[in-house]
Amino acid sequence: MKILSVVGARPNFIKIAPLAEEFRKHPEIKHILVHSGQHYDYEMSDSFFRDLNIPKPNYNLNIGSGLSGWQIGRMIIELEKIYLAEKPDLAVVVGDVNSTLAAALTAAKLRIPVAHIESGLRSFDRLMPEEINRLLTDQIADYLFVTEPSAIENLLREGISKRKIFYVGNIMIDTLKYQISNIKSKNYKEELLKRFNLEPKQYAVLTLHRPSNVDDEKILKNLFETIEIVSQKISVIFSVHPRTQKQLEKFRPKSQFADCRLQLIPPVSYMDMLCLVSNAKFALTDSGGIQEETTALSIPCLTVRQNTERPITVEKGTNILVGQNRNKILKEVNKILIGKIKKGCIPRYWDGKTAQRIAKIIKNKL
Protein backbone atom coordinates (compact mmCIF):
# COMPACT_ATOMS: atom_id res chain seq x y z
CA MET A 1 0.00 0.00 0.00
CA LYS A 2 1.68 3.19 -1.18
CA ILE A 3 0.49 6.48 0.34
CA LEU A 4 1.85 9.84 -0.79
CA SER A 5 1.39 12.88 1.47
CA VAL A 6 1.98 16.48 0.41
CA VAL A 7 2.83 19.26 2.86
CA GLY A 8 3.97 22.80 2.34
CA ALA A 9 3.39 25.14 5.28
CA ARG A 10 3.73 25.27 9.06
CA PRO A 11 0.20 23.96 9.90
CA ASN A 12 0.70 21.05 7.49
CA PHE A 13 3.83 19.88 9.28
CA ILE A 14 2.08 19.84 12.65
CA LYS A 15 -0.78 17.78 11.21
CA ILE A 16 1.28 15.28 9.21
CA ALA A 17 3.71 14.43 12.03
CA PRO A 18 1.42 12.08 14.02
CA LEU A 19 0.09 10.45 10.85
CA ALA A 20 3.60 9.79 9.52
CA GLU A 21 4.44 8.25 12.91
CA GLU A 22 1.32 6.08 12.78
CA PHE A 23 2.09 4.90 9.23
CA ARG A 24 5.55 3.80 10.42
CA LYS A 25 3.82 1.29 12.73
CA HIS A 26 2.34 -0.53 9.72
CA PRO A 27 4.99 -2.29 7.59
CA GLU A 28 2.47 -2.88 4.83
CA ILE A 29 2.26 0.89 4.26
CA LYS A 30 4.94 2.65 2.25
CA HIS A 31 4.67 6.35 3.01
CA ILE A 32 6.13 8.91 0.63
CA LEU A 33 6.41 12.50 1.83
CA VAL A 34 6.54 15.47 -0.52
CA HIS A 35 7.40 18.98 0.70
CA SER A 36 6.27 21.66 -1.75
CA GLY A 37 8.58 24.26 -0.25
CA GLN A 38 5.73 26.76 0.08
CA HIS A 39 7.30 27.83 3.40
CA TYR A 40 11.03 28.08 3.00
CA ASP A 41 12.12 30.06 6.08
CA TYR A 42 14.01 27.80 8.49
CA GLU A 43 11.77 28.44 11.49
CA MET A 44 8.68 28.12 9.28
CA SER A 45 9.77 24.82 7.76
CA ASP A 46 12.98 22.94 8.57
CA SER A 47 12.74 23.36 12.34
CA PHE A 48 9.35 21.65 12.30
CA PHE A 49 10.78 18.50 10.74
CA ARG A 50 13.46 18.52 13.44
CA ASP A 51 11.19 19.24 16.42
CA LEU A 52 8.33 16.96 15.35
CA ASN A 53 10.53 14.05 14.26
CA ILE A 54 9.05 14.07 10.76
CA PRO A 55 11.05 11.92 8.31
CA LYS A 56 13.11 13.78 5.75
CA PRO A 57 10.87 14.39 2.71
CA ASN A 58 11.35 12.03 -0.21
CA TYR A 59 10.89 15.02 -2.48
CA ASN A 60 11.29 18.77 -1.92
CA LEU A 61 9.92 20.96 -4.70
CA ASN A 62 11.45 24.19 -3.34
CA ILE A 63 8.62 26.24 -4.84
CA GLY A 64 9.02 29.28 -2.58
CA SER A 65 6.67 32.24 -2.29
CA GLY A 66 4.77 33.93 -5.08
CA LEU A 67 1.30 34.78 -6.31
CA SER A 68 -1.23 31.98 -5.78
CA GLY A 69 -1.71 31.17 -9.47
CA TRP A 70 2.02 30.97 -10.10
CA GLN A 71 2.63 28.96 -6.94
CA ILE A 72 -0.18 26.45 -7.54
CA GLY A 73 0.74 26.12 -11.22
CA ARG A 74 4.35 25.27 -10.45
CA MET A 75 3.27 22.77 -7.81
CA ILE A 76 0.92 20.99 -10.23
CA ILE A 77 3.66 20.67 -12.85
CA GLU A 78 6.13 19.16 -10.39
CA LEU A 79 3.63 17.01 -8.48
CA GLU A 80 2.34 15.43 -11.68
CA LYS A 81 5.84 14.10 -12.39
CA ILE A 82 6.07 12.59 -8.91
CA TYR A 83 2.60 11.02 -9.01
CA LEU A 84 3.35 9.43 -12.39
CA ALA A 85 6.69 8.09 -11.15
CA GLU A 86 5.44 6.78 -7.77
CA LYS A 87 1.92 5.64 -8.75
CA PRO A 88 0.51 5.93 -5.18
CA ASP A 89 -2.69 4.19 -4.07
CA LEU A 90 -3.74 7.31 -2.17
CA ALA A 91 -2.81 10.99 -1.99
CA VAL A 92 -3.12 12.58 1.47
CA VAL A 93 -3.50 16.34 1.78
CA VAL A 94 -3.92 18.38 4.97
CA GLY A 95 -5.33 21.76 5.84
CA ASP A 96 -6.11 24.57 3.42
CA VAL A 97 -2.93 26.04 1.95
CA ASN A 98 -2.03 26.25 -1.75
CA SER A 99 -0.11 22.97 -1.51
CA THR A 100 -3.32 21.28 -0.35
CA LEU A 101 -5.31 22.32 -3.41
CA ALA A 102 -2.49 21.70 -5.88
CA ALA A 103 -1.86 18.18 -4.59
CA ALA A 104 -5.56 17.26 -4.54
CA LEU A 105 -6.23 18.62 -8.02
CA THR A 106 -3.20 16.89 -9.54
CA ALA A 107 -4.12 13.55 -7.96
CA ALA A 108 -7.76 13.79 -9.05
CA LYS A 109 -6.74 14.47 -12.66
CA LEU A 110 -4.63 11.31 -12.57
CA ARG A 111 -7.49 9.32 -10.96
CA ILE A 112 -5.61 8.82 -7.72
CA PRO A 113 -7.94 8.77 -4.67
CA VAL A 114 -7.56 11.78 -2.37
CA ALA A 115 -7.89 11.91 1.43
CA HIS A 116 -8.34 15.36 2.95
CA ILE A 117 -7.48 15.79 6.62
CA GLU A 118 -9.33 18.70 8.25
CA SER A 119 -12.21 18.73 5.78
CA GLY A 120 -15.39 20.78 5.98
CA LEU A 121 -14.14 23.82 7.89
CA ARG A 122 -15.80 26.98 6.58
CA SER A 123 -15.43 30.67 7.40
CA PHE A 124 -18.06 31.54 4.75
CA ASP A 125 -15.72 34.33 3.66
CA ARG A 126 -14.55 33.81 0.09
CA LEU A 127 -12.19 36.75 0.36
CA MET A 128 -9.97 34.37 2.34
CA PRO A 129 -7.69 32.42 -0.04
CA GLU A 130 -7.88 29.45 2.32
CA GLU A 131 -11.66 29.28 1.96
CA ILE A 132 -11.40 28.69 -1.79
CA ASN A 133 -8.77 26.01 -1.19
CA ARG A 134 -11.06 24.27 1.33
CA LEU A 135 -14.12 24.32 -0.90
CA LEU A 136 -12.36 22.97 -3.98
CA THR A 137 -10.31 20.34 -2.14
CA ASP A 138 -13.39 18.92 -0.44
CA GLN A 139 -15.21 18.59 -3.77
CA ILE A 140 -12.24 16.62 -5.13
CA ALA A 141 -11.59 14.39 -2.12
CA ASP A 142 -12.74 10.77 -1.79
CA TYR A 143 -12.15 10.52 1.98
CA LEU A 144 -12.98 13.54 4.12
CA PHE A 145 -11.67 13.49 7.70
CA VAL A 146 -13.33 16.11 9.91
CA THR A 147 -12.45 17.70 13.25
CA GLU A 148 -15.84 18.92 14.49
CA PRO A 149 -19.61 18.52 13.90
CA SER A 150 -19.99 21.81 12.00
CA ALA A 151 -17.69 20.42 9.32
CA ILE A 152 -20.03 17.45 8.76
CA GLU A 153 -22.99 19.83 8.38
CA ASN A 154 -21.07 21.96 5.89
CA LEU A 155 -20.08 19.01 3.73
CA LEU A 156 -23.57 17.51 3.65
CA ARG A 157 -25.03 20.89 2.72
CA GLU A 158 -22.56 21.08 -0.18
CA GLY A 159 -23.71 17.74 -1.54
CA ILE A 160 -20.89 15.52 -0.27
CA SER A 161 -22.00 11.93 0.32
CA LYS A 162 -22.02 11.01 4.01
CA ARG A 163 -20.24 7.78 3.05
CA LYS A 164 -17.14 9.85 2.33
CA ILE A 165 -17.17 11.72 5.66
CA PHE A 166 -15.36 10.46 8.77
CA TYR A 167 -15.48 12.23 12.14
CA VAL A 168 -12.02 11.49 13.54
CA GLY A 169 -11.12 14.54 15.64
CA ASN A 170 -8.31 17.07 15.53
CA ILE A 171 -4.93 15.72 14.46
CA MET A 172 -3.15 18.91 15.62
CA ILE A 173 -4.03 17.91 19.16
CA ASP A 174 -2.19 14.60 18.66
CA THR A 175 1.00 16.60 18.16
CA LEU A 176 0.26 18.94 21.06
CA LYS A 177 -0.36 16.06 23.47
CA TYR A 178 2.78 14.30 22.32
CA GLN A 179 4.93 17.40 22.92
CA ILE A 180 3.25 18.88 25.99
CA SER A 181 5.45 17.11 28.53
CA ASN A 182 8.57 18.40 26.75
CA ILE A 183 7.48 22.04 26.74
CA LYS A 184 6.35 21.84 30.37
CA SER A 185 9.71 20.57 31.57
CA LYS A 186 11.21 23.05 34.01
CA ASN A 187 14.48 23.61 32.14
CA TYR A 188 12.86 24.14 28.73
CA LYS A 189 10.24 26.53 30.08
CA GLU A 190 12.65 28.53 32.24
CA GLU A 191 15.26 28.87 29.49
CA LEU A 192 12.72 29.99 26.89
CA LEU A 193 11.02 32.56 29.12
CA LYS A 194 14.40 33.84 30.29
CA ARG A 195 15.50 34.26 26.67
CA PHE A 196 12.63 36.69 26.08
CA ASN A 197 12.63 38.16 29.62
CA LEU A 198 9.11 36.91 30.37
CA GLU A 199 7.33 35.65 33.48
CA PRO A 200 4.58 32.97 33.33
CA LYS A 201 1.07 34.45 32.93
CA GLN A 202 2.52 37.97 32.89
CA TYR A 203 2.47 38.44 29.11
CA ALA A 204 0.28 37.98 26.03
CA VAL A 205 1.22 36.25 22.77
CA LEU A 206 0.42 38.07 19.51
CA THR A 207 0.38 36.71 15.95
CA LEU A 208 -0.99 38.40 12.82
CA HIS A 209 -0.62 37.26 9.23
CA ARG A 210 -4.05 37.23 7.49
CA PRO A 211 -4.25 39.51 4.41
CA SER A 212 -7.41 41.09 5.87
CA ASN A 213 -5.33 42.29 8.84
CA VAL A 214 -1.93 43.11 7.40
CA ASP A 215 -2.41 44.06 3.74
CA ASP A 216 -4.42 47.23 4.34
CA GLU A 217 -2.38 50.14 5.72
CA LYS A 218 -5.27 51.72 7.61
CA ILE A 219 -6.30 48.44 9.26
CA LEU A 220 -2.74 47.49 10.19
CA LYS A 221 -2.04 50.88 11.76
CA ASN A 222 -5.29 50.72 13.73
CA LEU A 223 -4.40 47.28 15.04
CA PHE A 224 -0.93 48.43 16.04
CA GLU A 225 -2.34 51.41 17.88
CA THR A 226 -4.69 49.04 19.69
CA ILE A 227 -1.83 46.69 20.53
CA GLU A 228 0.12 49.67 21.88
CA ILE A 229 -2.66 50.25 24.41
CA VAL A 230 -2.75 46.54 25.29
CA SER A 231 1.02 46.49 25.80
CA GLN A 232 0.75 49.31 28.32
CA LYS A 233 -1.37 46.95 30.41
CA ILE A 234 0.61 43.73 29.92
CA SER A 235 3.78 42.69 28.13
CA VAL A 236 3.15 41.47 24.58
CA ILE A 237 5.44 39.19 22.61
CA PHE A 238 4.82 39.36 18.87
CA SER A 239 6.13 36.53 16.70
CA VAL A 240 6.29 38.28 13.32
CA HIS A 241 5.32 36.18 10.30
CA PRO A 242 7.49 36.86 7.18
CA ARG A 243 4.42 38.18 5.35
CA THR A 244 3.66 40.58 8.21
CA GLN A 245 7.27 41.71 8.36
CA LYS A 246 7.12 42.77 4.72
CA GLN A 247 3.97 44.77 5.36
CA LEU A 248 5.44 46.44 8.44
CA GLU A 249 8.46 47.52 6.41
CA LYS A 250 6.16 48.77 3.65
CA PHE A 251 3.65 50.69 5.76
CA ARG A 252 5.87 51.65 8.70
CA PRO A 253 3.10 52.22 11.29
CA LYS A 254 3.74 55.54 13.00
CA SER A 255 3.25 54.21 16.51
CA GLN A 256 6.63 54.06 18.22
CA PHE A 257 5.30 52.10 21.21
CA ALA A 258 6.65 54.60 23.71
CA ASP A 259 6.15 53.59 27.32
CA CYS A 260 4.75 50.21 26.35
CA ARG A 261 5.94 46.65 26.48
CA LEU A 262 5.92 45.08 23.03
CA GLN A 263 8.62 42.66 21.94
CA LEU A 264 8.90 41.79 18.25
CA ILE A 265 10.66 38.49 17.55
CA PRO A 266 11.28 36.46 14.36
CA PRO A 267 9.23 33.31 13.74
CA VAL A 268 10.01 30.66 16.34
CA SER A 269 9.88 26.88 16.20
CA TYR A 270 6.70 24.96 16.94
CA MET A 271 8.00 23.90 20.33
CA ASP A 272 8.93 27.44 21.33
CA MET A 273 5.60 28.86 20.20
CA LEU A 274 3.66 26.14 22.01
CA CYS A 275 5.62 26.88 25.18
CA LEU A 276 5.01 30.63 24.81
CA VAL A 277 1.27 30.10 24.30
CA SER A 278 0.91 27.62 27.16
CA ASN A 279 2.49 30.05 29.63
CA ALA A 280 0.73 33.20 28.36
CA LYS A 281 -2.07 35.08 30.09
CA PHE A 282 -3.89 35.07 26.75
CA ALA A 283 -3.32 34.98 22.99
CA LEU A 284 -4.31 37.67 20.49
CA THR A 285 -4.24 36.12 17.02
CA ASP A 286 -5.72 35.53 13.59
CA SER A 287 -4.28 32.01 13.37
CA GLY A 288 -6.60 29.03 13.08
CA GLY A 289 -4.06 26.74 14.70
CA ILE A 290 -3.63 28.93 17.77
CA GLN A 291 -7.42 29.07 18.19
CA GLU A 292 -7.34 25.27 18.50
CA GLU A 293 -4.21 25.07 20.64
CA THR A 294 -5.51 27.61 23.16
CA THR A 295 -8.76 25.66 23.48
CA ALA A 296 -6.79 22.47 24.12
CA LEU A 297 -4.56 24.28 26.64
CA SER A 298 -7.42 26.22 28.30
CA ILE A 299 -5.72 29.54 27.50
CA PRO A 300 -7.96 32.55 26.67
CA CYS A 301 -7.84 33.45 22.98
CA LEU A 302 -8.98 36.68 21.31
CA THR A 303 -9.26 36.18 17.56
CA VAL A 304 -8.72 39.26 15.40
CA ARG A 305 -11.23 38.17 12.76
CA GLN A 306 -14.94 38.62 12.05
CA ASN A 307 -15.39 34.88 11.54
CA THR A 308 -13.76 31.53 12.17
CA GLU A 309 -13.79 28.27 10.28
CA ARG A 310 -13.35 26.59 13.66
CA PRO A 311 -16.60 27.50 15.47
CA ILE A 312 -16.14 24.74 18.04
CA THR A 313 -13.33 26.83 19.59
CA VAL A 314 -15.94 29.54 20.28
CA GLU A 315 -18.86 27.25 21.15
CA LYS A 316 -16.95 24.92 23.49
CA GLY A 317 -13.46 26.36 23.79
CA THR A 318 -11.79 29.50 25.07
CA ASN A 319 -11.93 31.51 21.85
CA ILE A 320 -13.69 34.89 21.47
CA LEU A 321 -14.04 36.70 18.13
CA VAL A 322 -13.09 40.36 18.54
CA GLY A 323 -12.53 41.36 14.91
CA GLN A 324 -10.59 44.58 14.34
CA ASN A 325 -12.76 46.53 16.77
CA ARG A 326 -10.52 48.40 19.20
CA ASN A 327 -13.19 48.80 21.87
CA LYS A 328 -14.08 45.11 21.78
CA ILE A 329 -10.44 44.03 21.91
CA LEU A 330 -9.70 46.27 24.89
CA LYS A 331 -12.92 45.27 26.66
CA GLU A 332 -12.04 41.56 26.43
CA VAL A 333 -8.41 42.18 27.41
CA ASN A 334 -9.54 44.08 30.50
CA LYS A 335 -11.90 41.27 31.47
CA ILE A 336 -9.09 38.74 31.23
CA LEU A 337 -6.75 40.93 33.28
CA ILE A 338 -9.24 41.13 36.17
CA GLY A 339 -9.87 37.39 36.08
CA LYS A 340 -13.13 37.24 34.12
CA ILE A 341 -11.94 34.43 31.88
CA LYS A 342 -14.13 32.42 29.53
CA LYS A 343 -14.27 28.79 30.63
CA GLY A 344 -14.03 26.16 27.92
CA CYS A 345 -13.96 22.40 27.58
CA ILE A 346 -12.10 19.98 25.35
CA PRO A 347 -14.13 18.97 22.26
CA ARG A 348 -14.89 15.35 21.45
CA TYR A 349 -12.07 13.37 19.83
CA TRP A 350 -9.46 15.96 20.71
CA ASP A 351 -7.79 13.14 22.59
CA GLY A 352 -4.48 12.54 20.81
CA LYS A 353 -5.75 9.47 18.93
CA THR A 354 -6.90 11.03 15.66
CA ALA A 355 -3.97 9.69 13.63
CA GLN A 356 -4.81 6.16 14.81
CA ARG A 357 -8.40 6.55 13.65
CA ILE A 358 -7.35 7.93 10.27
CA ALA A 359 -4.80 5.17 9.62
CA LYS A 360 -7.33 2.49 10.54
CA ILE A 361 -9.94 3.89 8.15
CA ILE A 362 -7.42 4.24 5.32
CA LYS A 363 -6.25 0.65 5.76
CA ASN A 364 -9.81 -0.69 5.82
CA LYS A 365 -10.94 1.35 2.82
CA LEU A 366 -7.93 0.63 0.63
Q: So which residues are the catalytic ones?
A: 209
How far is it, in rounded angstroms, from Cα 197 to Cα 191? 10
How far is it, in rounded angstroms, from Cα 283 to Cα 205? 5
Written as one letter, the residue type at 131 is E
Contacts (Cβ under 8 Å, ≥6 apart) of 87:
2
Residue of 66, 82, 72 lying closest to 105 (CA atoms) = 72
How far is it, in rounded angstroms, from Cα 107 to Cα 70? 19
Written as one letter, the residue type at 233 is K
Judge contact between 331 and 309, C-beta under 8 A. no
Residue of 10, 11, 55 lying closest to 29 (CA atoms) = 55
How far is it, in rounded angstroms, from Cα 143 to Cα 139? 10
Written as one letter, the residue type at 145 is F
Judge contact between 10 and 39, C-beta under 8 A. yes
